[in-house]
Structures are given as structure tokens and as C-alpha cells.
């Protein structure tokens, strides 16, 4: 079989999402062995199994084989189909875990994707729905993926451990992506944010806003943090509170930071004042790192550059996260594409930490299944 020859093989459970997403886009079959083979509880975890089911829902004709212990996974990708779907995410990871991958796949479906995801909207591990809404959607627009249909809407919030949140994600399809030259982040002009609280006193949100403003007002007058207190059914099944802050520059770069309280019954109680202050400090840290894309969306930007037309794309990033470095290796395996990486020292840029200028020529990926209307 011709297909068998090009089957990529990996070992271990790390970066499972990256591998499945890139296999789906490149159409290359994939085999992952030794998934937690030496642990007492071997094999795929429930959130990984849920992710595989989600990939199966958005594609048509995928072949997925998992052995009895769950330690070996074979995946032969089908066509990205899309349409209107629903998916219940595992509460052990946030909805952001699933949404990040859908953002990579959605523009290349046959039909525009409209999906309702249920689970944990804000936790301490994965990027929250708020952050992806504030940062990933503007990034997609830079590559020409825009329109009224592009939206993330939070219907209900859900905090760990029980979740109960619900969001709607809709994305239009595109035949090709446009290349970008995005090398000047520009100066910060305003800070926006949301402080949310569910199943706790609404005062919690106000206390977070006050402490965050106490730090940020020293730098900038234009700060607006709204409070979001959901009641009843729309507040999910567990109590909690948290905050998401975004800083926007004059050139449209959006950097973000977020924090959420400890899940009910786990760890020490967090004071809302502390959480607000720490979130503001995290945002300042992210601004120091800088770049034109914040650290949550580095891999999404690199993927869209790779899949662009056969033209040069450039993006200035802050220091690369370990996740992004592994993503670059995977891009080379699946798409045979290499990036030119130039480091920019703080002296050259006059600001913040070391920056990296990433340059590549797109592979001219075209969405073949998009019906021409």
C-alpha cells in the first residue's frame, strides 16, 4: 500500500493534539505507540479519547484504530467536513484544549463549521474561551479568515471540577489564506478585560477589577475591565472566579493573560485581590515578552503561515514556548517546511525580552473540498 509507506510513527502521549491536527491537514496517516505504556494506568486518558471523538466528528471517512490497552493509536485522516455539530468535552480539561485545535482546522472544512462545545470554560491549565475569543479570532482575520460567521459565544460558564459551561464556535471556510507581514507590534494603547464570577458573591469580580487596576493604572489611563456575573443555569455546576486581560497595540497586536481560582476542594483558597494583582503582573510579563502574537497563539500563527500561498510570510514573536518549538518540528515532519529564524536582541527592538522573527514561504495549501458557489 502506498499509504502505509508514508505513515508517520511516534512514541509517547505528548503533543497528541498537534500530531492529529497536522495529520488531518496534510492527509498523512499516523501511528502513535507506547502511550503511557509504563504507568499503572496505561493508555489514553478520557480527555484524549474525547478529543479523538471530536476529530472523528468534524471529518468524514477517518479511520481510527486503538488497541485494547489504549497504548497504540492508528489514525488515517478523512476529509474535513464541518457542518453543525455538538460535542461534550471531558471536564478534566478546559474547552480551550479542544477549541485551539478546531481553530486550526475550521477554515479548511467543506461546510462552514458551527459547533456547540460543553464542559469547563475557564480553568488553570488550558487557554480559556475568553482569551481565545480576544486573541485568536483577530489573528484569523489577519490571514483573511473573517466574516459575520466568525464568532465564539459563551452561553454558559463552567468552572472545574464539574464544568457545565457551553459555548458556540462558528467559522467560515476559505479556499486559500493570504500571506502576512506582521513585524511591528507597536505601542500598547489600551487594556480591556473581563472579571467573571460564578456561584460566588458578585463582589468577587469587583474586588479583582480594583486590584488589577491598582497596578495597571500606573502605566496607562485607558483601562476598561467589565464584570461578568452569571446566575442560575448559565453559571455551570461549580463555584469559582477568574480574570482575563488583553492589551491592544496601535497596530492591532493583542497580548493576553488570565488566571482562574483553584477548583472547589483543591488547593488553598485564593483571595480575589491577589488573583487580580497576579493577573495584571502576568499581563505585564506578556507585554515584556512582546511580539506580534501572544504566547498562546504562536503555533496557530505558524500553522497559518505554513498553509498560506506560495509567498513570504513574516511574523515577529516573543520567546518561543516549548510547545511552539515542538510544533515547528512537527511542521517539518508533516509538511517538509522549514522556517528562517532570526533573533532580535532587546537593543535592536528597544523593548522587552528577546524577539524572534519567523519567516517562511507558504506551501500553497488549497482547500480542495470547498464547494465553489
Mean predicted confidence (pLDDT) in 147-174: 94
**Does residue 372 have a pLDDT over 60?**
no
Mean predicted confidence (pLDDT) in 32-61: 95
- Pair 71, 33: CB distance under 8 Å: yes
> Which triple of cell numbers denotes residue 60?
468524514
- Please list the residue range(s) of the chain that carry CATH number 3.30.360.20: 188-289
Mean predicted confidence (pLDDT) in 171-175: 93
The alpha carbon of residue 234 and the mean position of all alpha carbons in its chain are separated, in whole angstroms, by 23
Residue 1 is predicted with a pLDDT of 36
Among 60-64, 179-183, 265-269, 334-338, which is the least confidently predicted range?
Answer: 265-269
Residue 348 is predicted with a pLDDT of 66
At 353, is the pLDDT very low, low, confident or very high (cuts 50, 70, 90)? confident
Cα→Cα distances 113→60, 81, 110, 133, 172, Å:
13, 8, 9, 16, 7
Greater confidence, 197 or 345?
197
pTM for the whole structure: 0.94
- Please list the residue range(s) of the chain that carry CATH number 3.30.110: 1-80
The alpha carbon of residue 227 and the mean position of all alpha carbons in its chain are separated, in whole angstroms, by 23
List all residues 6 or more positions away from 95 whose beta carbon is below 8 Å from its beta carbon.
89, 117, 118, 119, 120, 121, 126, 129, 165, 167
**DSSP characters over 115-182:** EEEEEBSS-SSSPPHHHHHHHHHHHHHHTT--STT-EEEEEE--BTTTB-EEEEEEE---S-----EE
Strands 340-344 and 355-361, sheet pairing: antiparallel
The values of phi and psi at residue 344, to 5°, are -115, 120
Please provide the CATH number assigned to the domain covering 188-289. Answer: 3.30.360.20
**138: which strand partners?**
none
Mean predicted confidence (pLDDT) in 69-88: 95
**Does residue 8 have a pLDDT over 80?**
yes
Angle at 266 (CA atoms; ends 262, 270), nearest 5 degrees: 35
The alpha carbon of residue 156 and the mean position of all alpha carbons in its chain are separated, in whole angstroms, by 19
At 208, is the pLDDT very low, low, confident or very high (cuts 50, 70, 90)? very high
Residue 371 is predicted with a pLDDT of 53
**Does residue 340 have a pLDDT over 50?**
yes
How many CB atoms neighbour CB 94 within 10 A?
Answer: 29
- Pair 323, 231: CB distance under 8 Å: no
Strands 82-88 and 63-66, sheet pairing: unpaired
The whole-angstrom separation of Cα 241 and Cα 263 is 10
Q: Which CATH number fits domain 1-80: 1.10.287, 3.30.160, 3.30.70, 3.30.110?
A: 3.30.110
Average predicted confidence (pLDDT) for the chain: 92
Helix (H, G, I), strand (E, B) or coil at 249: strand
Find the helix or strand (DSSP H, E) in which 322 lies.
helix 322-335
**Does residue 212 have a pLDDT over 90?**
yes
At 55, is the pLDDT very low, low, confident or very high (cuts 50, 70, 90)? very high
Summarised one tens digit per residue, pLDDT across range 215-230 is 999 999 999 999 999 9
Greater confidence, 370 or 124?
124
Find the helix or strand (DSSP H, E) in which 208 lies.
helix 203-216
The whole-angstrom separation of Cα 2 and Cα 62 is 17
Summarised one tens digit per residue, pLDDT across range 247-280 is 999 999 999 999 999 998 888 889 999 999 999 9
Mean predicted confidence (pLDDT) in 156-185: 94
At 350, is the pLDDT very low, low, confident or very high (cuts 50, 70, 90)? low
The length of the chain, given as a count of residues: 373
List all residues 6 or more positions away from 372 whose beta carbon is below 8 Å from its beta carbon.
none
The whole-angstrom separation of Cα 316 and Cα 313 is 10
- Pair 78, 59: CB distance under 8 Å: yes
The whole-angstrom separation of Cα 326 and Cα 118 is 29
The whole-angstrom separation of Cα 341 and Cα 346 is 16
Residue 147 is predicted with a pLDDT of 80
Summarised one tens digit per residue, pLDDT across range 303-318 is 999 999 999 999 999 9
Amino acid at each position: 500500500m502506498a499509504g502505509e509507506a508514508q505513515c508517520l510513527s511516534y512514541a509517547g502521549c505528548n503533543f497528541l493534539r498537534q500530531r492529529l491536527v497536522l495529520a488531518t491537514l496534510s492527509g498523512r496517516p499516523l501511528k502513535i505507540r507506547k502511550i503511557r505504556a509504563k504507568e499503572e494506568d496505561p493508555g489514553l486518558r478520557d480527555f484524549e479519547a474525547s478529543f479523538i471523538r471530536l476529530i472523528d466528528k468534524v471529518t468524514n471517512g477517518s479511520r481510527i484504530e486503538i488497541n485494547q490497552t489504549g497504548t497504540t493509536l492508528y489514525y488515517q485522516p478523512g476529509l474535513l467536513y464541518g457542518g453543525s455539530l455538538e460535542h461534550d468535552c471531558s471536564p478534566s480539561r478546559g474547552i480551550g484544549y479542544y477549541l485551539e485545535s478546531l481553530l486550526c482546522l475550521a477554515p479548511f472544512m467543506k461546510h462552514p463549521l458551527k459547533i456547540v462545545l460543553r464542559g469547563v470554560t475557564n480553568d488553570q491549565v488550558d487557554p480559556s474561551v475568553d482569551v481565545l475569543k480576544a486573541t485568536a479570532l483577530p489573528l484569523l482575520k489577519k490571514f483573511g479568515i473573517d466574516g459575520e460567521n466568525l464568532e465564539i459565544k459563551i452561553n454558559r460558564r463552567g468552572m472545574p471540577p464539574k464544568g457545565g459551561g457551553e459555548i458556540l464556535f462558528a467559522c467560515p471556510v476559505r479556499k486559500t489564506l493570504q500571506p502576512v507581514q506582521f513585524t511591528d507590534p507597536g505601542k500598547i494603547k489600551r487594556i480591556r478585560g473581563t472579571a467573571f464570577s460564578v456561584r460566588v458573591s458578585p463582589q468577587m469580580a469587583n474586588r479583582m477589577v480594583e486590584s488589577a487596576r491598582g497596578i495597571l493604572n500606573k502605566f496607562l489611563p485607558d483601562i476598561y475591565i467589565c464584570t461578568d456575573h452569571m446566575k442560575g443555569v448559565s453559571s455551570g455546576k461549580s463555584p469559582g472566579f477568574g480574570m482575563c486581560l488583553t492589551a491592544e497595540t496601535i497596530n492591532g497586536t493583542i497580548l493576553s493573560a488570565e488566571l482562574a481560582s483553584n477548583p472547589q476542594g483543591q488547593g488553598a483558597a485564593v483571595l480575589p485581590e491577589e488573583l487580580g494583582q497576579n493577573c495584571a503582573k502576568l499581563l505585564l510579563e506578556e507585554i515584556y515578552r512582546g511580539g506580534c502574537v501572544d504566547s498562546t497563539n504562536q503555533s496557530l500563527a505558524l500553522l497559518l503561515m505554513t498553509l498560506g500561498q506560495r509567498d513570504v510570510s513574516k511574523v515577529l514573536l516573543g520567546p518561543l514556548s516549548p510547545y511552539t518549538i515542538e510544533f515547528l518540528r512537527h511542521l517539518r515532519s508533516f509538511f517538509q517546511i522549514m522556517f528562517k529564524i532570526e533573533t532580535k536582541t532587546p537593543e535592536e527592538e528597544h523593548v522587552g525580552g528577546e524577539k524572534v522573527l519567523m519567516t517562511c514561504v507558504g506551501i500553497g495549501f488549497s482547500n480542495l473540498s470547498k464547494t465553489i458557489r
